[in-house]
Amino acid sequence: MAALEFTIEKRLKGALGRAGILKTPHGVVQTPAFVPVGTLATVKSLTPEEVRALGAQIILANTYHLFLQPGEETVAKGGGLTKFMNYGGPTMTDSGGFQVFSLGFARGHGVTKVLKKTEKRLPRDEQESEHSKLVSVDEEGVTFTSHIDGTTHRFTPERSIAIQEKIGADIIFAFDECTSPLISYEEMKASIERTHRWAKRSRDAHTRKDQALFGIVQGGRYPDLRKQSAQYIADLGFEGFGIGGSFDKDDMTSIVALVNETLPENKPRHMLGIGEIEDLFEGVERGVDLFDCALPTRHARNGMLFTAQGRYDMCRADNKEKFEPIEAGCGCYTCTNYTKAYVHHLFKANELLAYRLATIHNLYFIVHLVDRMRASIMDDTFFEFKKEFLSCYKKA
């Protein structure tokens, strides 16, 4: 079969949203769908079988991390990503661009892909830090220092594609320059122009016909640059598209709508690194088909669990004698078998089972929430579902 087949089953009336079917060599994904992050070929604390059992249809692993450990050659000798980790379903790998970015400016300033209201745009001379010395970007690629052992490595578009082809996921991404939301218009313009040149080089380097290559749209919070980037990336003939971050939180919905109005309708769109509940609704409404984010698993390890009323802190003292599920009616393994009191006890005792049970709940919650968004598109109740759910969720 082709590396990827995408069909639209139902369109959301009055908006860009849609429900689709994505066929890959390792299985079918019903979209929109949430993609759990399995950075090192593992979703932290869970077995691949558990990830599939909670409803996940596809997972994303990280090129940068798998390159450093155990190395792409080892994954290839193990039969490729799906077989190596015994997942059995569709997989994706990102290009490694964001991880390189996070080693430099972002790491030094705590900046994420989406600029929050509390983060301010800084003068360029204030943006340098000791962490920035870990990364050097030039026209050919990026030189970076391993966070594991301090060794120096180099990624170019060609090298990123070669690594991803060895890892062997069903969907891979072009190598891009993922920038900070804090940079100026002129800097962002220069950055997307480099991303476009790297996208073409990534496309030209791609040789595996059983892997779908997605191009990434950048441009920060600037509408004209986003539109320019979407048009250019669309014209390169990728099988699908990634939407990069680097925008203000308040600008996200309008930027995503602009990008998806510009991209071809008949190809899938993946939003990179988005996992807040409100953002998922807004992305689905505006035509996003896939989302990946480490937020649900990270929150779980910190005892912060998703519920229909908002995030719930399992470490609160009043959970000690609450002999009830984390969320009434939740069908996850954790809520079916354990109480708040027990999970609270595990966190207070620093038991590893706490991370497992919390991760199962959070991933089940978010995977099934996006599934419900899909179902609401199919039965023409999306806007009612969105309004009802968010009216309760925001109260917390």
Say how far apart CA 4 and CA 210 lie, in whole Å. Answer: 8
Answer yes or no: is 331 a known binding residue.
Answer: no
Answer yes or no: is 95 a known binding residue.
Answer: yes
Answer yes or no: is 224 a known binding residue.
Answer: no
Say how far apart CA 28 and CA 41 lie, in whole Å. Answer: 20
Tell me which H or E stretch contains 243.
strand 240-243
Answer yes or no: is 176 a known binding residue.
Answer: yes
Q: Which one from 248, 292, 318, 371 is the annotated catalytic residue?
A: 292
Answer yes or no: is 94 a known binding residue.
Answer: yes
Omega of the bond prior to 181 within 30 degrees of 0, cis? no
Answer yes or no: is 97 a known binding residue.
Answer: yes
Per the annotation, the verdict on 318 as an active-site residue is no
DSSP string, 319-381: GTT--S-SSTT--SHHHHH--HHHHHHHHHTT-HHHHHHHHHHHHHHHHHHHHHHHHHHHTT-
Per the annotation, the verdict on 292 as an active-site residue is yes
Q: Phi and psi at residue 47, in whole multiples of 5°?
A: -80, 155
Closest by Cα among 278, 276, 249 to 392? 278
Answer yes or no: is 361 a known binding residue.
Answer: yes
Answer yes or no: is 392 a known binding residue.
Answer: no
DSSP β-ladder status, 91-94 and 171-173: parallel
Closest by Cα among 188, 159, 187 to 175? 159
Other Cβ atoms closer than 10 A to 210: 15
3-state SS of 84-119 is HCCCCCCEEEECCHHHHHHHCHHHHHCCCCEECCCC
Instruction: Tell me the HSE value of 185 on the side-chain side, using a 13 A CA sphere.
Output: 4
Q: Phi and psi at residue 298, in whole multiples of 5°?
A: -65, -45
Say how far apart CA 305 and CA 241 lie, in whole Å. Answer: 31
Say how far apart CA 77 and CA 268 lie, in whole Å. Answer: 30
Answer yes or no: is 88 a known binding residue.
Answer: no
Q: Which one from 94, 170, 251, 279 is the annotated catalytic residue?
A: 94
Helix axes 382-393, 352-378, angle to 10 degrees: 150
Spatial CB neighbours of 298, under 8 Å, sequence gap ≥ 6:
none
Residue with tokens 């301090």: 150
> Residue positions in the annotated binding site for Zn(2+)?
330, 332, 335, 361
> Residue positions in the annotated binding site?
94-98, 176, 218, 245, 330, 332, 335, 361
> Residue positions in the annotated binding site for substrate?
94-98, 176, 218, 245
Catalytic residues: 94, 292
